[in-house]
Amino acid sequence: MQHFLTDYPGSAYGADKSAIANKMAENGATLMLLNGVDDGTNAAAELDGQPLYYGEMQVEGHSWYINQNYEHRDASYEEILHLVHDYGIGVDQNEDFLGALVDYQTEVRAAQVNALSGQLWAWSSELADWLAELTAENSLTQEYLASVLDSFYGLWGAFDGDYGMWNFYVAKTRNDLAPKDPLGAALMAQFFHPYLTYNARIDESFTGDFSLKFQSSLAYTHHAQYLKNITLTGINDSNVIVNQLDNNISGNTGTNTVIFSGPSSEYQISKESEQLTVADLQDNRDGSNTLVAIEKLQFTDTTINSSSL
């Protein structure tokens, strides 16, 4: 939720999101974190609020995340977006929850209508009953926007299918959005950050190299490539491979190495108190990285102990 409500300077509708947060408070927005899975057996789901189940949340570094286990697929982006959409942005044709972004919702509706009529989203006849249910409860735009967002942040990149959102949204990855659903791509640029703004706390069970750089052989990097702020937790000796963003990386109590793409001569290293900054002198490669509690810097030609700097 913090990510969705973080201002996105320069965007058409997200430059100042305070009105959305205030509208959510005014409308009594409630997120319910529930045990189990969404199988209809948890009576709490009938309460007035947006449910999010344990079985549909993935923690970065946990085995569900690393393996991109779609039996426990990460629905947190979708469900929290529903909360922000319903109670903050607002939904047209719903007088109970007048939103803060009427004009944006108008564009969402236009994109959803275009996607449905153009068979870009929910085109299968098997979804007819579901679409009828969504129409009756006026939630077509919410489900469509969530489908676009999931692909925008790489949540379906590792899915064993040709499309996103359980194979019923035409764009599977961010690269698919503009050519396949340009109106959906425009919605992302108007409100959502291109990277994930929250600090991802890597699960304490993780050990090895956590990659922020996309690697086709690592399923989770379809999603992790959009992270830029991470904290290693626990005691395991864990390492981080940086991406092209300006990353903020904090280590744990083990021995941690940050891994770069080039030789040490192509980076500028500075230290202030306990904080290191490693800036790539080459464009569009490793960015500028702020490091705390990191013991080693690994380059292609050498490894440097932070204590020697």
The percentage of residues in the chain with a pLDDT greater than 70, rounded to a whole number, is: 100
Band (47; pLDDT cuts 50, 70, 90): confident
pLDDT of residue 302: 98
Tokens at 55, concatenated: 């079985």
pLDDT of residue 40: 85
94 pLDDT above the threshold of 90: no
Around Cβ 40, how many Cβ atoms within 10 Å? 7
| 264 contacts 301 by C-beta, under 8 angstroms | yes
pLDDT tens profile 130-140:
999 999 999 99
Tokens at 204, concatenated: 């304490």
Of the listed ranges 35-44, 149-158, 271-280, the one predicted with least confidence: 35-44
Non-local CB neighbours of 185 within 8 Å, separated by 6+ positions: 148, 177, 178
45 pLDDT above the threshold of 90: no
97 pLDDT above the threshold of 80: no
Tokens at 107, concatenated: 């564009």
| 281 contacts 261 by C-beta, under 8 angstroms | no
Band (162; pLDDT cuts 50, 70, 90): very high
Q: In which order are the strands placed within the sheet that holds 196-202?
A: 196-202, 227-232, 248-250, 288-292, 275-280, 267-272
Q: Look over the chain and give the mean of its residue pLDDT values, rounded to a whole number.
A: 96
